[in-house]
Structure 1
């Protein structure tokens, strides 16, 4: 496999692969902004799975590039899907007309329970409601004002949250894609100067049941307070699931 990006998530995934902590997976290449087009194409061709852990703009480029080569891609910068009415539009037809395009995987990242919520959503979305509350430090959210207490800085759809906070809304996008869609999942973003961890609260209500989950994650020190340390390990667990043909809750997008 190849990893694109060597920041907080990409660097941790590369380290886990190099230390043999992801059974059945080996690193072909670690790619970065200085990698040439030929190096990137060679790494994609030699890999079964590519991990994107860079930026939304880079994800916009690499999703069609990797899927057109018939390879699967795990997208960590999943705010990219908010730019498209249909996220599957990013998946490109294979170069070879007889081939099959690669799949796009969105890891659960900093939250869990996607399997339960996806099942409840499949049973019926008409009367279902999803709310995702995310509490982070003002610095992580790009709030320049000096706060002395918590403040709600956003309330709206998962799509709008990802467009406004493209680097910190990955969990919201994953939850929305697994359940009610980007335009029907509600996101509430709170800036709290007192937090030392990132907190996520997920509330889902439907005729099938009521589900409430809370996650409090340690921060990856290399991320500037934006990324939960668990996120890279969510990617590692997903890689094992892809190998085994089963796995943890994740969103899978395929070309229609």
Structure 2
């Protein structure tokens, strides 16, 4: 068990838009109680990397906390092995947890513990609290992004043409939080985060909208039930290096790391 005097030894998997910012802050001492000890990535990082680049197996030997910042595939391939090694896992690509079987295996694995970060959306703590009062009658999420960030290999030419020639918003997909993250593995982790907070993948209705005028990525959550009605809306500046994600996401990861390091002294 981590104590207040234990420094978390952190490995970051994925040195892209999320991992580079989060890992750089760790390396600079930005999170008291946590230090960056290694980086895992399938691309050469060069001499400028602030920590050694190692294999996944080596990371498990030297870390007590792995930060996944490389996509849902990493969670599927490595999640159980990370936890079985006794290493904790912080998941940024929460869309992987919409796979019921994978989620069950991760929760059953151990002795490491699995955590997830809310990423680009707020209000999840309130939705979790409301859940204690009983099921919500309605939960919807509308995500609006630039068309280029939503293009996927499964799309047919008709849909791609509509997106590329759009002069206004175009609905790309409607479904549940179980369906949508699978179709947009790099763009709709928010849907999974909302569903994890609500506790029901099928209860969250999701609409994905492509809008050429979406200079900011927008997420609107609306929920209602016997005990109240709730609405949260965020509009983020996309990350310049990876417009499919928002600039705030690595900072959400850092906030989660600070909580796991146990040094923040606050629960908000």
TM-score by structure 1 length?
A: 0.87
Which residue of structure 2 lines up, in the alignment, with residue 4 of structure 1?
13
- Tell whether the 8 Å contact from 1:155 to 1:189 is kept in structure 2 after alignment: yes
Counterparts of 2:122 and 2:200 in 1: how far apart (Å)? 17
Cα distance in structure 2, aligned partners of 1:221 and 1:39: 28
The question of 1:119 aligning with 2:129 is answered: yes
Task: Please tell me whether the aligned partners of residues 236 and 247 of structure 2 are also in contact (alpha carbons under 8 angstroms).
Answer: yes
Cα separation, 2, equivalents of 1:42 and 1:70:
14
Deviation at 1:78, TM superposition (A): 1.8
Relative distance call for 1:59 and 1:248 in structure 2 (3 A) is: farther
User: How many residues are matched?
Assistant: 240
User: 1:199 is matched with which residue: 218, 227, 230?
Assistant: 218
Gap runs ≥5 in structure 1: 95-100, 250-256
Among 94, 100, 109, the alignment partner of 2:119 is 109
Deviations 1:138-161 (A, max 9, x none): 011117322111011111100100
Determine the C-alpha separation between the residues in 1 that align with 2:237 and 2:80. Answer: 33
When structure 1 is superposed on structure 2, of 154-163 and 143-152 the one drifting more is 143-152
2:95 to 53, 65, 79: 79
4+ long deviations beyond 4 Å: 245-249
The residue that corresponds to 1:243 in the other structure is 261
Question: Where in structure 2 are the equivalents of 1:222-233 lying within 5 Å?
Answer: 222-223=241-242, 225-233=243-251
Against the structure 1 CA distance between its residues 248 and 107, is the aligned structure 2 distance closer, same or farther, given a 3 Å change threshold?
farther
TM-score normalised by length of structure 2:
0.83
Per-residue deviation, 1:21:
1.8
